[in-house]
Structure 1
């Protein structure tokens, strides 16, 4: 007997992730749409639309339909057992969980924290680097609430929840790979159908994918060293094996012997690194008489590693993929010509999209 894949929903926590901590701490997904009253009694789509019109009396027909589609999904289409994906803009990671209850309207003093679905958050540290580019594009939709289905999205994100990484779309879909029944109604909003995409996030993800394609493994150490040289350090990259937990030695001065003297560990894995890596770096920091340490963890760090670093703020810094890309962009014009030829970038100006609830 085949297993039905649950639906997957992208549910944001504010345009800039301002409700992420609240959502995770309170085991809920949703919020926003503060102008709209309680949807508990709105048992039809048209009833939801009436509440949206009352909350946005001057809105266009298209905007009313857009907001109605999102709130109707939160109120009715999302089912218990479905998977929720929450991008965390502050950390660059993604949280995932399962819906465990029906729609609720919370009596929270903050009107942005009322329209919710109860969720059991199961992963809160999935790195964006563990998800393939086409799926990241879908997750870059500007909508607050939308379904993820294109490119085998439901099955793939189910696998991310289970395994921690995106296996990509299956070669062929048929009777052997059923998905949950999906009978779209007029005006239903899906991420796949939305032309509004976070262009900045999409561009960042494209750069990130290109960097790891060209600089995986030992080559990433040389990229990190090039960035640090651009920031005024003299660097030595150690051999690929037997490095004793240090991939790059960096220091000031012509010989790289002046403070701050930094030991650097570089991990190009897509998954978060653990406490063992942090402990090894702490040992290298003391053993080499360095002032500071830098851990470049492409997939970020897990909770155990983060706990070890609580009291190390002025001694150990962590760069994840986003931090390294920031450093590359910040120093791009000072990087070697051959590196810029391998990674051709240019700065562009784009119109800021209108914020959504």
Structure 2
């Protein structure tokens, strides 16, 4: 089997529907049914017409990815989907050829049928070279470095094992193929996930909220009753919004029972809003319920917490900065 990464949007906007419907999608929604293209050159000509403002380098890059999705990926291959809502990779077996679904939203019309595994595999289970490969910036690409196919197949059949190869055997992808911001965030996520657990994670979240201008109260250690931090604006925290915060530092995605518990304590404390922080991400039912309660509930997974830490880093206490030593870098963005 060949391993392909097919992303579900920059922010994971297609991943819920992909997993629910056993499909894999790519964007490029302005393109017509791809089945009409018999050669990559035909595809490239239409791409250049539809996206006339794009430079030739970008057109070639996009053509290669679309062609891979259309005809490079074979039935029986495996698709890896790096998830945005939890620190994990979903894997599925390709069971159908490309098809076009005109009544889907624009960014979900180009489809492949996939049988997804029941549970994704945590990113932390993979060695660094594979995590770097999963972090590449393209939407569609093959993962084949360092015997990736056999290693991923082993992880799929034995998900409780940990992938590890000797450093001398690693061929690390060049940085030109990676999203450097995403790579840095992924490295920071691994570091924080190892160093901050339980009470330490609660203190880290509290420090971030303080840096964002909230007055906070860290609840006593032990049985939390569904709330770990109380936060509010204003002098002594007497102003609105008032927030109940629940923090989960485990690797597993949290389910509805945790969100229901948070919603209950929001009423008890007369809070305006609830913030659920889960390092292991969220099950789809939690994400769906949070969307229905958009004006009351916010969810932070590991990636969102890392983003918040990066945004307020200079305002964090010196002891937190000492534990998470970061240095700001400026990177020129390639226009292509």
Deviation (angstroms), 1:83: 1.5
Give the equivalent residue in structure 1 for 2:94. Answer: 99
Query: What are the residue-to-residue correspondences of 1:170-249 with 2, within 5 Å?
Result: 195-249=176-230
Deviation (angstroms), 1:222: 0.6
Point out the structure with max Rg over C-alpha.
1
The 1:68–1:291 alpha-carbon spacing in structure 2 relative to 1, beyond 3 Å, is closer
- Give the Cα–Cα distance (whole angstroms) in 1 for the partners of residues 184 and 253 of structure 2: 23
- Give the Cα–Cα distance (whole angstroms) in 2 for the partners of residues 22 and 283 of structure 1: 29
SS in 2 for 1:309: helix
- Give the Cα–Cα distance (whole angstroms) in 2 for the partners of residues 307 and 22 of structure 1: 12
Query: What are the residue-to-residue correspondences of 1:14-25 with 2, within 5 Å?
Result: none
Q: 2:271 aligns with which of 277, 290, 294?
A: 290
- Give the Cα–Cα distance (whole angstroms) in 1 for the partners of residues 291 and 179 of structure 2: 32
- Give the Cα–Cα distance (whole angstroms) in 2 for the partners of residues 27 and 285 of structure 1: 37
Query: What are the residue-to-residue correspondences of 1:1-357 with 2, within 5 Å?
Result: 6-13=1-8, 27-30=23-26, 32=28, 38=34, 42=38, 48-51=39-42, 54-55=45-46, 59=56, 70=65, 73-87=68-82, 94-102=89-97, 104=98, 106=100, 108=102, 116-122=111-117, 133-158=128-153, 167-169=162-164, 195-256=176-237, 258-354=239-335
Name which of structure 1's ranges 74-83 and 115-124 shifts more when overlaid on structure 2. Answer: 115-124
Deviation (angstroms), 1:341: 1.8
TM-score, normalised to structure 1, is 0.72
SS in 1 for 2:231: strand
Deviation (angstroms), 1:342: 1.8
- Give the Cα–Cα distance (whole angstroms) in 1 for the partners of residues 250 and 297 of structure 2: 19
- Give the Cα–Cα distance (whole angstroms) in 2 for the partners of residues 260 and 115 of structure 1: 43
The 1:159–1:272 alpha-carbon spacing in structure 2 relative to 1, beyond 3 Å, is farther
Contact 2:25/2:109 (8 A) holds in 1:
no
Name which of structure 1's ranges 207-216 and 161-170 shifts more when overlaid on structure 2. Answer: 161-170
Contact 2:86/2:302 (8 A) holds in 1:
no
- Give the Cα–Cα distance (whole angstroms) in 1 for the partners of residues 207 and 22 of structure 2: 43
Contact 2:127/2:164 (8 A) holds in 1:
no
Number of aligned residues: 325
SS in 2 for 1:260: strand
Residue ranges of structure 1 left out of the alignment (5+ in a row): 1-5, 43-47, 173-190
SS in 1 for 2:177: coil
Deviation (angstroms), 1:15: 6.0
* CA RMSD, 1 decimal: 4.1
Contact 2:47/2:63 (8 A) holds in 1:
no
- Give the Cα–Cα distance (whole angstroms) in 2 for the partners of residues 192 and 22 of structure 1: 30
SS in 2 for 1:331: helix
Name which of structure 1's ranges 334-343 and 140-149 shifts more when overlaid on structure 2. Answer: 140-149
TM-score, normalised to structure 2, is 0.76
Contact 1:36/1:51 (8 A) holds in 2:
no
Residue ranges of structure 2 left out of the alignment (5+ in a row): 49-54
Deviation (angstroms), 1:13: 4.7
The 1:274–1:132 alpha-carbon spacing in structure 2 relative to 1, beyond 3 Å, is farther
Q: Which has the higher helix share?
A: 2
- Give the Cα–Cα distance (whole angstroms) in 2 for the partners of residues 234 and 19 of structure 1: 36
- Give the Cα–Cα distance (whole angstroms) in 1 for the partners of residues 264 and 138 of structure 2: 46
Contact 1:37/1:51 (8 A) holds in 2:
no
